[in-house]
């Protein structure tokens, strides 16, 4: 008896990396699938239908029903058609995993408009497109049958490149930080109909190796126990859990997964206030007090490189 027996899920970017491992685990847990993958390279160029077909075949061998989809999540109408495909093939939709992504890294002073727009389109708009149409379906189902409760599950994918920052990735990081904020807001809007959560994987994928060859050695290292902490298989169990009935009371959360560790993240929070005793601040007063009072003693922000250091790895 699988945790997702009889469920129907769409997983975008399912052909390789994280999406592939999520699709395989969902299949093992009894979930029927629409596996979406454009079959593009890590920078979004090209397309190849066999990428989605291959993972579909692997999942079918695990005893579930699977159909492939080769469309880009950047297209609003094709995203809607993907939701309709799941309903047409399987009679319903229970789960959406937004995982599709590309990279076009560049320092901000060299980044082109297309490099910014294309990355935002896949990650941020793609997540919106898929969520928008799934949300309409989930809401419609509950309005017809309130006994379903918040049956829908949406799991988005963010990155520490956005939450902590990483040079050369202002486009990607902005999209990923935006997805975390999007998760927070949409979880409020869909509380009656679906849970909406976000995972922040630290894993070895094309986006951390092919796109950034300098990361290959680091992402291939084992820890002191000989454990492969960057294996993308490590991320899939958390996604499967969040997709299950067991997670019906968990929504609006952001979880980092790295190796055998899962962290619960808190977004922007107030550190300290200063006040001016009922008088409007002047620039001169702020110049005197911000550094001396407001920022004094403030803990250092967690950093992307510091995260690797906390795992005992050297960059």
Q: Do the Cβ atoms of 230 and 220 come closer than 8 Å?
A: yes
pLDDT tens readout for residues 103-138:
999 999 999 999 999 999 999 999 999 999 999 999
What 3 state SS string does 37-98 have? CCCCCCCCCCCCCHHHHHHHHHHHCCCCCEEEECCCCCCHHHHHHHHHHHHHHHCCCCEEEC
Do 279 and 258 share a structural domain? no
Assess if residue 217 is contained within a domain. Answer: yes
Mean pLDDT, residues 163-170: 92
pLDDT of residue 243: 98
Q: Is the predicted pLDDT of residue 210 greater than 60, yes or no? A: no
Q: Is residue 11 within a helix (H) or strand (E), and if so which, with residue range?
A: strand 8-12
Do 286 and 190 share a structural domain? no
The catalytic residue among 176, 187, 193, 244 is 176
Do 97 and 224 share a structural domain? yes
- What is the side-by-side order of every strand in the sheet holding 8-12? 66-69, 32-36, 8-12, 95-97, 152-157, 194-201, 254-258, 261-265
Do 283 and 218 share a structural domain? no
Q: Is the predicted pLDDT of residue 250 greater than 80, yes or no? A: yes
3-class state of residue 280 by DSSP: coil
CATH number at residue 250: 3.40.50.720
pLDDT of residue 193: 98
Give residue 84's domain range: 8-265
Assess if residue 104 is contained within a domain. Answer: yes
Do 313 and 171 share a structural domain? no
Comparing 43-47, 61-65, 67-71, 89-93, the range with the smallest average pLDDT is 43-47
Torsion angle, CA of 109/305/179/157, rounded to 10 degrees? 130
pLDDT of residue 40: 60
Torsion angle, CA of 43/178/204/35, rounded to 10 degrees? -70
Assess if residue 2 is contained within a domain. Answer: no
Mean pLDDT, residues 245-257: 97
Assess if residue 1 is contained within a domain. Answer: no
Q: Is the predicted pLDDT of residue 213 greater than 70, yes or no? A: no
Q: How far apart are CA 312 and CA 300, in angstroms?
A: 19
Cβ partners under 8 Å of residue 205, min gap 6: 16, 17, 18, 232
**Is 172 noted as a catalytic residue in this protein?**
yes
Do 191 and 167 share a structural domain? yes
Do 199 and 310 share a structural domain? no
pLDDT of residue 307: 76
Assess if residue 233 is contained within a domain. Answer: yes
Q: How confident is the model at residue 311 (pLDDT cuts 50, 70, 90)?
A: low
pLDDT tens readout for residues 66-111:
999 999 999 999 999 999 999 999 999 999 999 999 999 999 999 9
Do 134 and 259 share a structural domain? yes
Assess if residue 284 is contained within a domain. Answer: yes
Q: How far apart are CA 43 and CA 252, in angstroms?
A: 30
Taken in order 239, 243, 247, 252, the sign of the CA dihedral is positive
Assess if residue 195 is contained within a domain. Answer: yes
**Is 271 noted as a catalytic residue in this protein?**
no
pLDDT tens readout for residues 275-284:
999 999 999 9
Q: How confident is the model at residue 206 (pLDDT cuts 50, 70, 90)?
A: low
Q: Is the predicted pLDDT of residue 315 greater than 60, yes or no? A: no
pLDDT of residue 49: 81
The catalytic residue among 172, 187, 193, 244 is 172
Tokens coding 81: 């058609």
The catalytic residue among 7, 70, 72, 159 is 159
pLDDT of residue 303: 80
Last residue of a domain, one of 265, 283, 299: 265
Do 131 and 115 share a structural domain? yes
Q: Is the predicted pLDDT of residue 209 greater than 90, yes or no? A: no
Q: Is the predicted pLDDT of residue 212 greater than 90, yes or no? A: no
Assess if residue 178 is contained within a domain. Answer: yes
Q: How many residues does the chain have?
A: 315
Of all residues in the chain, the percent with pLDDT exceeding 70 is 88
Mean pLDDT, residues 240-249: 98
- CB count within 10 Å of CB 314 equals 9
* DSSP assignment of 100-111: --------TTT-
Q: How confident is the model at residue 208 (pLDDT cuts 50, 70, 90)?
A: low
Q: Where are the beta strands (DSSP E) in 233-311?
A: 254-258, 261-265
pLDDT of residue 78: 98
Do 254 and 135 share a structural domain? yes
Q: How confident is the model at residue 38 (pLDDT cuts 50, 70, 90)?
A: confident
Phi/psi-derived region of residue 90, left when phi > 0, alpha when psi is between -120 and 50, beta in every other case: alpha
pLDDT of residue 48: 67
Do 163 and 305 share a structural domain? no
What is the number of domains present in the chain? 2
**Is 159 noted as a catalytic residue in this protein?**
yes
Do 227 and 127 share a structural domain? yes
């Amino acid at each position: 008896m699988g945790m997702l027996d009889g469920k129907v899920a769409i997983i975008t970017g399912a052909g390789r990396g994280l999406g592939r491992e999520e699709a395989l685990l969902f299949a093992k847990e009894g979930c029927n699938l629409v596996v979406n993958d454009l079959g593009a390279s890590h920078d979004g160029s090209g397309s190849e239908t066999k990428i989605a077909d291959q993972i579909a075949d692997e999942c079918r061998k695990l005893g579930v029903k699977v159909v492939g989809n080769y469309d880009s999540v950047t297209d609003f109408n094709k995203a809607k058609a993907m939701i309709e495909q799941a309903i047409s093939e399987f009679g319903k939709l229970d789960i959406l995993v937004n995982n599709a992504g590309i990279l076009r890294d560049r320092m901000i002073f060299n980044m082109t408009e297309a490099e910014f727009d294309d990355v935002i389109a896949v990650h941020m708009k793609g997540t919106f497109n898929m969520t928008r149409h799934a949300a309409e379906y989930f809401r419609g189902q509950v309005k017809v049958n309130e006994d379903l409760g918040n049956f829908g599950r949406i799991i988005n994918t963010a990155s520490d490149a956005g939450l902590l920052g990483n040079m050369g990735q202002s486009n990607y990081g902005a999209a990923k930080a935006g997805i975390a904020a999007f998760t927070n807001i949409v979880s409020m809007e869909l509380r009656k109909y679906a849970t909406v959560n976000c995972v922040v994987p630290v894993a070895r994928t094309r986006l951390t190796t092919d796109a950034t060859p300098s990361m290959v050695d680091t992402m291939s290292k084992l820890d002191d126990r000989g454990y492969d902490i960057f294996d993308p298989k490590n991320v899939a169990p958390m996604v499967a859990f969040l997709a299950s009935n067991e997670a019906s009371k968990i929504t609006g959360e952001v979880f980092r997964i790295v190796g055998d560790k899962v962290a619960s993240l808190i977004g922007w929070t107030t550190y300290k206030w200063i006040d001016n005793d009922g008088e409007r601040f002047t620039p001169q007063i702020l110049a005197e007090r911000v550094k001396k009072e407001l920022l004094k003693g403030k803990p250092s922000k967690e950093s992307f490189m510091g995260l690797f250091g906390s795992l005992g790895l050297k960059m």
